[in-house]
Structure 1
Amino acid sequence: MVDISTEYLGLELRSPLVASSSGLTANLDDLKKFEASGVGAVVLKSIFEEEIIRNTQDAIGKMAASRFIYPETMEYFEYDYDEIQDPLGDYLKLIRDAKKTLSIPIIASVNCVSPDGWMDFAERIEHAGADAIELNVFVLPSDFTRTCEENESVYFDVVTKILKKITIPVSIKIGYYSAALGMMIQLLSETGIKGITLFNRTYNPDFDIDTLEFTTSNVLSTPGDLSTSLRWVAIMSNRVKCDIAASTGVHDGAAMVKQLLAGAKVVDVASAFYLHGIDYAEVMLADLKTWMQENSYGSLKEFRGKMSRDKTYNPAAFERVQFMKYFKDR
């Protein structure tokens, strides 16, 4: 038997496979299926900063126009009042129900672009029983009036404020757009957060050339998307003061093994579950165990990071960005 348990964000996980934030982690029935399939933790579908702010403002307006006239009515999240559409209350209820039903860690997720207007809801997430919270932050550097320093300060402002608000572990999920990505990841790891996820998957716009209407493209990742996160997990392993989670492009057990060899503590998966079903987690974990047995590894720590930049026989492989070796004879 091999031991595939691990520790992530200070939490004990029975396996390194984490169900990433997606529509599949938005209801209790699917969360139960994920637990039955062997995942180590689940990250709930993200609730957006704009959604939190909008619904809070809308609810205050409705309460002011109704019989809710006292300051105590800010507790409306807990009130069963049909006229108030309450996605925030639903989110908190999902956390409470999941904690009552499941034994694996429940990680809440907030998609945010600023440190303002939603921090109080993070406290409510903690009070509802979430084991940790993942902040999904991505600032596209497309505003020509903002410097790279101003763009990247958003990440640090969000982290600084959230760490003052809650006591449960905080992780941050970021993108790879940065003029000094390695340094930014390293500095983020020194803020007091417990984990960094590399990388988030963004909305990719497309448009129809006949109707000239916008569409979405490449909603799901492909196995080819693995390389970017694999490179940076390997480069940053042993260079940060928090856990690293690998995300995007992990579609089978072999890809999960690669990310663990690169140095990831856990591996986040979503697209593979959309394509193959939630119980595909069992296949991925079985492949991990088989590989460990075939290579005589008894636990994850025996091989984690073995192919990271600092430990591999060829560290330059992760830092070379040209194809000279492969195309010089063609």
Structure 2
Amino acid sequence: MDISTTYMGLALESPVIVGSCGLTDAVEKLKRIEDAGAGAAVLKSIFEEEIAYEYNDIIKDVSLTTGYNLEQFDYLDVQLRGKKLFAYLDLIKKAKAGVSMPVIASVNCVYSHEWSSFATQIAEAGADALELNMFFVPADFERERSELETLYFQIVEKLLKTITIPVSLKISHYFSNLGQMIRRLSETGISGIVLFNRFFSPDIDTDRLEVKPSFIFSSPSDLAISLRWMAIMSQRVNCDLAASTGVHDAQGVIKQILAGAQAVQMVSTLYKNKIPYLKTVDRDIQNWMETHGFKTLGDFRGKLSQAEADNPAVYDRLQFMKYYA
């Protein structure tokens, strides 16, 4: 059974992409990922806010001890950004030399004015594509909803004028009109949209009286949100769609493809089951295809999307229903 696919114009031998995480931050790990059968890998993100925060700390420390004015920090700015970025560019170059599967760079977006400088150098380093992990917390009481949403389009517009490699957006489902937003983003000229990104989840330690992380890994039940929206948006966008969060096994992959996905991203399950588990996923997909008489992914992609389903209204219903005999 042929499980190859295309995503953002890239040829993938498997629909399974290892998402941005600690498993994709070194060439040795990427080689193991490729050997296990992944179609592609998204490199561990470079975080723009991490660079900004470090820069602010340096300004604070140095200015307090030396009395330098702000104009004298230009050199430090270049050095700090260079140190972080050069390490990332080096990872891209080594990854491209070490593996044959597509290597997708990833940038975690905070400020729109930073993107073109990062993206240009990432493209020149040889990345096959660039994934922007984008989410602006809708808790800014000083900005209107429209202002926050405009940032997404400003970033995309600037990037597409700067680089020619494919660009995908990894977005959240926190939009007041999600369907319309996904469709509008797909019409900007980007090559893909990933549904959806996963966030840090805070919890409260009632003994220590402090905030702590919780639910670090996704669970199979998290598949429901992206599955619904994958099915709704399939055949209604002008770019490829990939699924993320809650895809833990071959069944999760198959469901997302039936809903219309070109590819899926896995992370949490690989931490739990280790990288070689990818071989099991690929084999289980092939076995399922053989059982159901499908020779390629295209034979069943979108078969149960809202556009193709016998009962499309099921994807619109949110309330629980009770049936009586």
TM-score under structure 2 normalisation?
0.91
The Cα of 1:58 is off from its aligned counterpart by: 8.7
Post-superposition Cα deviations, 1:277-313, rounded to whole Å, max 9, x if no partner, equal: 0111111111100000001111011100000000010
Q: Is the 8 A contact 1:261 1:306 kept in 2?
A: yes
Is 2:2 aligned against 1:38?
Answer: no
* Residue 126 (structure 2) aligned to one of 122, 129, 133: 129
Post-superposition Cα deviations, 1:20-68, rounded to whole Å, max 9, x if no partner, equal: 0011111111111100011100000111112344567899999xx9xxx
**Compared CA separation, residues 8 and 225, structure 1 to 2 (3 A):** same
CA distance in 2, matches of 1:121, 1:148: 27
Quote the residue 1:14 is aligned against: 13
The Cα of 1:76 is off from its aligned counterpart by: 6.5
The Cα of 1:86 is off from its aligned counterpart by: 2.2
CA distance in 1, matches of 2:216, 2:184: 30
The farther-off stretch of 31-40 and 203-212 is 203-212
Quote the residue 2:65 is aligned against: none
Post-superposition Cα deviations, 1:261-282, rounded to whole Å, max 9, x if no partner, equal: 0000000000000000011111
1:58-77 equivalence runs, <5 A: none
Is 2:204 aligned against 1:197?
Answer: no
Quote the residue 1:251 is aligned against: 248
Letter in 2 for 1:3: D
**Can you give the 5+ residue segments of structure 1 that lack an aligned partner in the other structure?**
78-83
Post-superposition Cα deviations, 1:118-147, rounded to whole Å, max 9, x if no partner, equal: 421211101110000000001221122322
* Residue 279 (structure 1) aligned to one of 276, 279, 285: 276
| Root mean square deviation of aligned Cα | 2.5
CA distance in 2, matches of 1:268, 1:181: 21
1:204-243 equivalence runs, <5 A: 204-243=201-240
Letter in 2 for 1:305: G
Q: Secondary structure at the match of 1:201?
A: coil
* Residue 309 (structure 1) aligned to one of 306, 311, 317: 306
Is 2:165 aligned against 1:163?
Answer: no
* Residue 290 (structure 2) aligned to one of 280, 290, 293: 293
**Compared CA separation, residues 128 and 56, structure 1 to 2 (3 A):** farther
The farther-off stretch of 51-60 and 119-128 is 51-60
The Cα of 1:87 is off from its aligned counterpart by: 2.7
Q: Secondary structure at the match of 2:114?
A: coil
Q: Is the 8 A contact 1:237 1:263 kept in 2?
A: yes
CA distance in 2, matches of 1:122, 1:258: 33
Q: Is the 8 A contact 1:229 1:247 kept in 2?
A: yes
Quote the residue 1:103 is aligned against: 100
**Compared CA separation, residues 116 and 140, structure 1 to 2 (3 A):** same
Q: Secondary structure at the match of 2:279?
A: helix
**Compared CA separation, residues 217 and 54, structure 1 to 2 (3 A):** closer
Letter in 2 for 1:196: I
Quote the residue 1:320 is aligned against: 317
Letter in 2 for 1:283: T
Is 2:148 aligned against 1:145?
Answer: no
